[in-house]
Amino acid sequence: MGLLQLYWSILRSMWAASYALASILTLTMTWVAIRGTATRSHTINLILSLLSDQLSELPISIMILDACYYTWLTATGTFQQSPLVRFFYYINIITAVGLIYLFKRAFEVRDVIHKHLEQYSKERREEIDLPGLTSPRFWQQLLNPFHSPYNTTLYPNIPYWTPEEQLTAVATDGWRASADITLDIYRPNEVAMGSDRPVLIYIHGGGSWTKGSKRITGPLVTEMLNQEWVVVSIDYRRSSRAGYPTQLIDCKRALRWIKAEIDVFGGNPNNLVVAGDSSGGHLAAMLALTPNQPAYQPGFEDVDTTVQGCIAQTAILDLTDIQGYYHDDQRTRFLRTVAKRGEAEKEKKEEKEKKKQEDGWPTANTTSTSTTTTTTTVEDAPTCISTSPEDLKFLMEHSPLHRITAEAPPFLVIHGDLDTIAPVGMARAFVDHFRRVVRGGVGGQQAMTYLEIPGGHHLFGLLSSPRTWYATIAAAHWLEHHFEGRERGLAKNEDIVQWGW
């Protein structure tokens, strides 16, 4: 009997300790989610952003889990016997107030989307009233944080390279590269082979151009499949020894394949919209803003690589960071880990020193350091790895902000105002510059639509929440308005965002 009591005592102590730790973590992250706190460390910011997204998008689910845990502690007598549990019970009441505030702020996105939809159809204002708290499906989708395409046919892992290109990639990056140079096609079952439907090309983000998977798609993909669009999710090499712009060139190769073959799967090769989030949003924007650029089309320079539109969600739109948007050193990280320019310079230096040593020359002091200056002008802007103008030029060439021309296609930019990975100031600068440059170009100011999402963190679009739901509705209307609105009219709200269980 004594051993059994000891056993239960140990269990209750463990439950009490875990409840206390969970309460501290939830309270801290609720505060971070409300404030959008950032540090100088990219890794810490990424962890904070991931946790903040969970609380910002799923506050009701978090409160339900807490209530379930409290019920368990009460049923087992832990609550009655542990002062620690009773103390953190009251702490969790404070946390619940913060979670309710997060839910309220997510629901406020409804007003932002209402204003956005008014510009499309003022005469149909009553018909585009958005679902609210009294809608059963609102709660159904809120409590189901997962979504995946359904009622579709998936054609997975289709290689988009020529045999020669594939052999070159394997020789450079190994056999693993073969899995990264493929795409997935989602065809709604209602769309017959050989139809002429619009095509959404989705480019995944993840790990700043070096991680992620084409199988991780946002709710926009699911929604547009429900609207009978053909969707292509493309992959690209994420660990190439050559570094960036290998990722962009791979996306161009995928676009080449799509233009040549998508009509077989029911898509229209002349009605292509590219979309992406985070680093995928950067690649999507670069794809849209650099059509027919020979430098990014080696071996297929004569292929038309234009697209008809772009959706950039929480995208990296400026790599130069001259205005100081980022909380961490984005330039150095991109140049070293993504473009691998630092590694290339190091290899060249080592080869040079080795050659000197072989020729009898004295070697350089490899422990010496150099200093850099901080400025705010483009001409002397720091390049972090070196002060050479080549690095700055490289960053500018691969920043969508600096690639905007009057011929740019229509853009929809969606950005959260609490994004600490891709700060919202960068998105605002991109939008302002786009509207100035494209004012007299194709579509004028109609070509830019900007949605700033209140309370949105970097990855808010990957989970089911009111914020994600309303942003997806807005994107669906934007796509129909620009790319098939004349044919089918605006989507009906009862038909959109039918995410599966």
Query: Over the stretch 83-95, which tens digit does the pLDDT of each residue have?
Result: 999 999 999 999 9
Domain boundary among the residues 85, 107, 129 is at: 107
Single-letter residue type at 487: E
Q: Is residue 46 part of a domain?
A: yes
Spatial distance between the Cα atoms of 103 and 85, rounded to a whole number of angstroms? 26
Tell me: do 32 and 89 sit in the same domain: yes
Tell me: do 66 and 207 sit in the same domain: no
* Average confidence score pLDDT of the chain: 82
Q: Is the pLDDT of residue 501 over 60?
A: no
Tell me: do 84 and 190 sit in the same domain: no
Spatial distance between the Cα atoms of 16 and 449, rounded to a whole number of angstroms? 50
Tell me: do 97 and 184 sit in the same domain: no
Q: How distant, in Å, are the alpha carbons of 113, 272, 280, 401 from that of 445?
A: 19, 21, 24, 16
Q: Is residue 442 part of a domain?
A: yes
Tell me: do 100 and 150 sit in the same domain: no
Total structural domains in the chain?
2
Q: Is residue 476 part of a domain?
A: yes
Domain boundary among the residues 62, 80, 107 is at: 107
Please give the pLDDT value at position 342.
66
Q: Is the pLDDT of residue 370 over 60?
A: no
CATH code for the domain of 262: 3.40.50.1820
The distance in angstroms from the start CA to the end CA of the chain is 47
Environment class of 35 (CB within 10 Å of its CB; exposed 0-12, middle 13-18, buried 19+): exposed
Tell me: do 316 and 440 sit in the same domain: yes
Nearest to 231 by CA among 186, 280, 190: 186
Q: Which residues of 163-201 are buried (b: 16+ CB within 10 A; e: fewer)?
A: eebeeebeeebeeebeebbbbbbbbbeebeeebebbbbb
Q: Is residue 340 part of a domain?
A: no
Contact (Cβ atoms closer than 8 angstroms) between residue 277 and residue 314: yes
Please give the pLDDT value at position 187.
96
Annotated catalytic residue within 56, 278, 464, 465: 278
pLDDT over 70, % of the chain: 82
Q: Tell me if residue 278 is catalytic.
A: yes
Tell me: do 318 and 243 sit in the same domain: yes
Please give the pLDDT value at position 375.
35
Tell me: do 271 and 415 sit in the same domain: yes
Tell me: do 151 and 25 sit in the same domain: no
Tell me: do 166 and 83 sit in the same domain: no
Helix (H), strand (E) at residue 466 = helix 466-483
Contact (Cβ atoms closer than 8 angstroms) between residue 208 and residue 337: yes
Nearest to 342 by CA among 353, 331, 352: 331
Tell me: do 169 and 90 sit in the same domain: no
Helix-helix angle 42-57:59-75, to 10 degrees: 80
Tell me: do 161 and 37 sit in the same domain: no
Q: Is residue 115 part of a domain?
A: no
Q: What is the DSSP string of 384-421?
A: SS---HHHHHHHHHT-GGGS--TTPPPEEEEEETT-SS
Range of the domain at 477: 142-323+395-494
pLDDT band for position 490 (cuts 50, 70, 90) = very low
Please give the pLDDT value at position 487.
42
Q: What is the mean pLDDT of residues 113-122?
A: 78
Which tokens is 473 given?
């509705």
Please write the tens of the pLDDT for every residue from 269-319. 999 999 999 999 999 999 999 999 999 999 999 999 999 999 999 999 999
Nearest to 30 by CA among 71, 63, 1: 63
Q: Is the pLDDT of residue 354 over 80?
A: no
Helix-helix angle 42-57:2-35, to 10 degrees: 100
Ordered strands of the 309-313 beta sheet: 152-159, 182-188, 230-234, 197-203, 267-277, 309-313, 411-416, 448-453
Q: Is residue 385 part of a domain?
A: no
